[in-house]
Amino acid sequence: MLLAIDSGNTNTLFAVHDGDTWRAQWRAATDPTRTADEYAVWLHQLMSMHDLAFGDLSACVISTVVPQSLFHLRNLVRRYIEVEPMVVGEDGVDIGVEVRIDRPGDVGADRLVNAVGAAVKYKGPLLIVDSGTATTIDVIAEDGAFEGGIIAPGVNLSLQALHMAAAKLPRVAIKRPDRVIGKDTVGAMQSGVFWGYIDLIDGLIGRIEDEYGRTLTVIGTGGVVSLFEDASVRIQHYDPDITIRGLYEIWKRNEGAAA
């Protein structure tokens, strides 16, 4: 079985694939100081709830945008699964995506993994809206190449900035308000962030399509994007599994070379 690990700025996803399907998925808050042993205790307990054990795992693929976490995740895999993990972005790992931007090395592993995961399932050209710590909107060409995109602050980051920078503004939860015009401070903040992000996403998608000169298939993914379902008029598909699908596909493409 394959253990796929996607370490983002906010959450780290662990998922187990048995060759036919994903058996289980778990999320933990990303903490660069969490040791391999701490990960092992946490993961062992969750795996046992699904009748899985470290001995069932025979391979691992890791994608991370947090370099400090990679040391501990690599040690987790070496010590407890007793294999060398395949790390997306390292020498010898072929992602299989042409990167058509000025500085290809600048693209985060998460965005390239998403490109692979989307191209496997959807016919291009594509737009991937990934809403997490940051909101990224990336263009994937018809042949699967990565052609660039947009990076904006994530919705949680915006709420946090409002709370921290304005003394009288409270910390509020993200939710879809019943009305656009807020009748109190909390309602006004929720409306501004929620509908502001809907219009940011839909507006940028429109501008991208105008510049690209083609209509694109738009896919939403990420930890926050489900909040926007039925609110965005531009997102056509909501797919939470793009990243792990991409990790599995990259592992398959490199399995022979890594063996």
CATH number at residue 49: 3.30.420.40
Give the amino acid at 146.
Answer: F
Residues 81 and 121 grouped into a single domain: no
Range of lowest pLDDT (71-80, 99-108, 158-167, 194-203): 158-167
Of 87, 118, 150, the residue that ends a domain is 87
Residues 11 and 134 grouped into a single domain: no
Is 17 a domain residue? yes
Residues 154 and 179 grouped into a single domain: yes
Residues 114 and 225 grouped into a single domain: yes
Full domain range(s) for residue 142:
104-243
Token pair recorded at residue 71: 């040391």
- Average pLDDT value for residue range 126-142: 93
Please name the residues in contact with 114: beta carbons below 8 A apart, sequence gap of 6 or more: 128, 130, 138, 221, 242, 243, 246
Is 92 a domain residue? no
Share of the chain above pLDDT 90, in %: 68
CA distance 207 to 97: 24
- The pLDDT confidence band at residue 258, using thresholds 50, 70 and 90, is very low
The catalytic residues are 110
Residues 155 and 225 grouped into a single domain: yes
Backbone CA torsion sign across 49, 221, 81, 38: negative
- The pLDDT confidence band at residue 30, using thresholds 50, 70 and 90, is very high
Is 248 a domain residue? no
Residues 158 and 132 grouped into a single domain: yes
- Supply φ then ψ for residue 140, to 5 degrees: -115, 120
Report pLDDT digits (tens) over 48-65.
Answer: 999 999 999 999 999 998
Biggest alpha carbon–alpha carbon distance for the chain: 61
Residue 79: how many other CB atoms lie within 10 Å: 13
Of 30, 58, 87, the residue that ends a domain is 87
Count of the separate structural domains present in the chain: 2
Is 255 a domain residue? no
Residues 83 and 119 grouped into a single domain: no
Of 61, 87, 113, the residue that ends a domain is 87
Residues 111 and 76 grouped into a single domain: no
Please name the residues in contact with 70: beta carbons below 8 A apart, sequence gap of 6 or more: 7, 62, 64, 87
- Tokens 């052609």 -> residue: 147
Average pLDDT over the chain, rounded to an integer: 91
Is 50 a domain residue? yes
Is 253 a domain residue? no
Residues 64 and 122 grouped into a single domain: no
- The pLDDT confidence band at residue 4, using thresholds 50, 70 and 90, is very high
Give the amino acid at 254.
Answer: N
Contact 157, 144 (CB under 8 A): no
Determine the pLDDT at residue 193.
Answer: 86
Determine the pLDDT at residue 228.
Answer: 82
Residues 112 and 82 grouped into a single domain: no
pLDDT at 259 over 60: no
Is 120 a domain residue? yes
- The pLDDT confidence band at residue 166, using thresholds 50, 70 and 90, is confident
Burial of 24 (0-12, 13-18, 19+ CB in 10 A): middle
Which of the listed ranges 169-173, 194-198, 255-259 does the model predict with the highest average pLDDT?
194-198
Residues 218 and 181 grouped into a single domain: yes
Determine the pLDDT at residue 167.
Answer: 65
Share of the chain above pLDDT 70, in %: 98
Residue 115: how many other CB atoms lie within 10 Å: 30
Whether pTM exceeds 0.85: yes
Determine the pLDDT at residue 105.
Answer: 87
CA distance 128 to 138: 5
Residues 109 and 82 grouped into a single domain: no
Range of lowest pLDDT (92-106, 145-159, 165-179): 165-179
Is 257 a domain residue? no
- Tokens 């070379």 -> residue: 257
Burial of 125 (0-12, 13-18, 19+ CB in 10 A): buried
